[in-house]
Amino acid sequence: MVMSPAGLRNKNDFAGKDQQLLPQISYSVYLLGLMVTVVTGSTDGIGKAYALELARRGVNVVLISRTQKKLDEVAAEIESKFPVKTKTIAADFSKGRPVFDIIEQELKDIPVGILVNNVGRQYTYPMYLGEVPEHELWDILNINIGATTMMTRLILPQMQKQKRGAIVNVSSGSELQPLPLMTVYAASKVFVKSFSDALRYEYQRDGIIIQHLSPLFVNTKMNAFSHRLQQTSLFVPDATTYARNAINTLGKANTTTGYWAHGLQYFLTMIPPVWIRTYIGGLMNEIFRRDYFKTMPKE
């Protein structure tokens, strides 16, 4: 399916039922929404919520995730709720380079205005490096680093030609310090921050927005290893609340947690020196690790 801006809401439509929320989008970002947004990892958690929120605001979306059935379900949900078009692309980023040839072909002739590099892989539960299965480590590298890098490289030429675009790289508060028991995951998120900051320098002259989004804890399946992170609260929002807040920062903040309560946590977290933050992070992961083992069936 070839998607176009036709059928999207125009600027005047912003005066409808979403009036209180929609004007918070900068007009430059609104213009990008007249094209199409590509969201990776879009069938669960933040990615799904981000896609749904964009659709609510009248943006056509391309959903990329691993499982076609789940993609179809999310696409059907979006099109049943909102007057937008969707396209789905099944791609397992853990497979590495071959998937990008497929994605490139599927995105041919689609005017992409916004790319949301959301897909990510975390440890099954907090582990010491020697305990982490090798395939899990490769998945983290291929997905968290490889997918973000190669999806960006794939979309950039089109954005350069258009002289506008936005790339949202979803990182994690795990990047704020070395994180024992999530060592490789946290290191991969440090890559995302460095990648985003350098990329912004390279492409800001082309009118391309590069946003580094760094959420702290969000109540999603990714954090299911601990019951403490499955209870929605002010500081552990659900994915819908987080996405709604995060989208409002696009075009306004280059680096952000995306959610005001996380911003407060970020400020307080950065007060102690890095060795203290690392120590506390390790202690927290020891607690989450015990939480996980408590849920496992006894032999």
Active site (catalytic) residues? 185
Enumerate residues 6+ apart whose C-beta is below 8 A from 96.
142, 146
With b meaning 16 or more CB within 10 Å and e meaning fewer, what string describes 134-158?
A: eebbebbbbbbbbbbbbbbebbbeb
How far is residue 118 from each of residues 69, 147, 247, measured CA to CA in Å?
19, 9, 13
Contact predicate 103/117, CB 8 Å: no
* Under 8 Å between Cβ of 3 and 85: yes
Judge whether 142 and 89 are in contact, CB under 8 Å. no
Alpha-carbon gap, residue 185 to 258, rounded angstroms? 20
Going by the DSSP 8-state scheme, the letter that residue 165 receives in this structure is E
| 217-218-224-229 Cα dihedral, nearest 10 degrees | 60
168 touches 112 (CB < 8 A): no
Measured CA to CA, the distance from residue 215 to residue 169 in angstroms comes to 11
